[in-house]
């Protein structure tokens, strides 16, 4: 019961953080108010929508439940109204909040896939889709190749966090522990990657 509330609280917090990022990207790209709200919705909820469609959990949470879009739109609208302070926020704060959002989405995304009887490898992928899907759709709408395919340890951190959740659940550890550990691993890997400039290999 407590766990359910913690997961919900985390989910809503992640939605707000990602919606602010989506709105900021839209403002930077010169979109109008509608574009800002659309990107708030998509960055915050797009990954979860794609996951739900793929695992057969339709209508997706964000379409079934009016609180998610309302929250995303509210965060987007506030970002639009107070764009100057948001744009002036220290980058490290944004990166840290983003890493926290990524961790929550990756861990809870993998967990939902497991609950829908998705096999382990695919559940890990679904965790990464939940965490990174919104950002990929944002990049497509702004017509740029998704950043996560080119640089940074970002989706990789999500995959690792999701993998921890899946392994813990296979070991029959309590779901609360699995989620917490998965979040922690994703967050730490992401922050370490930023700190130490880790990059994946590429063909020279």
Cα gap 180→165, rounded to integer Å: 8
Q: Is the peptide bond before 59 cis (omega within 30 degrees of 0)?
A: yes
Tell me the closest approach of the beta carbon of residue 59 to a second copy, in angstroms: 5
Cα gap 120→105, rounded to integer Å: 17
* Residues present in the chain in total: 204
143 binds a second copy (CB under 8 A): yes
Site for a second copy in 84-113 (CB under 8 A): none
122 binds a second copy (CB under 8 A): yes
Token pair belonging to 180: 């917490």
200 binds a second copy (CB under 8 A): yes
61 binds a second copy (CB under 8 A): no
60 binds a second copy (CB under 8 A): yes
On whether the CB atoms of residues 10 and 102 are closer than 8 A, the answer is no
Cα gap 101→5, rounded to integer Å: 16
Tell me the closest approach of the beta carbon of residue 134 to a second copy, in angstroms: 15
Q: Which is nearer to a second copy, 41 or 180 (CB)?
A: 41
142 binds a second copy (CB under 8 A): yes
Per CB under 8 A, residues contacting a second copy are 26-27, 29-35, 38-39, 49, 53-56, 58-60, 63-66, 69-70, 80, 83, 116, 118-122, 125-126, 136, 140-146, 148-151, 155-156, 199-203
């Amino acid at each position: 019961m407590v766990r359910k509330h913690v997961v919900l609280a985390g989910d809503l917090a992640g939605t707000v953080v990602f919606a602010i990022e989506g709105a900021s990207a839209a403002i930077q790209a010169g979109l109008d108010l509608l574009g800002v709200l659309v990107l708030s919705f998509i960055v915050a909820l797009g990954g979860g929508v794609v996951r739900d469609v793929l695992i057969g959990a339709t209508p997706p949470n964000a379409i079934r439940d009016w609180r998610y879009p309302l929250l995303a739109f509210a965060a987007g609208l506030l970002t639009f109204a107070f764009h100057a302070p948001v744009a002036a926020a220290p980058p490290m704060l944004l990166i840290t909040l983003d890493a926290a959002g990524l961790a929550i989405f990756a861990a809870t995304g993998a967990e939902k896939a497991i609950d829908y009887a998705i096999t382990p490898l695919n559940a890990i992928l679904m965790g990464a889709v939940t965490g990174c899907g919104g950002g990929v759709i944002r990049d497509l709408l702004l017509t740029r190749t998704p950043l996560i395919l080119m640089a940074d340890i970002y989706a990789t951190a999500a995959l690792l966090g999701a993998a921890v959740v899946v392994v813990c659940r296979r070991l029959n550890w309590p779901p609360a522990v699995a989620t917490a550990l998965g979040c922690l691993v994703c967050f730490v890997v992401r922050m370490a990657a930023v700190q130490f400039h880790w990059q994946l290999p590429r063909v020279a």
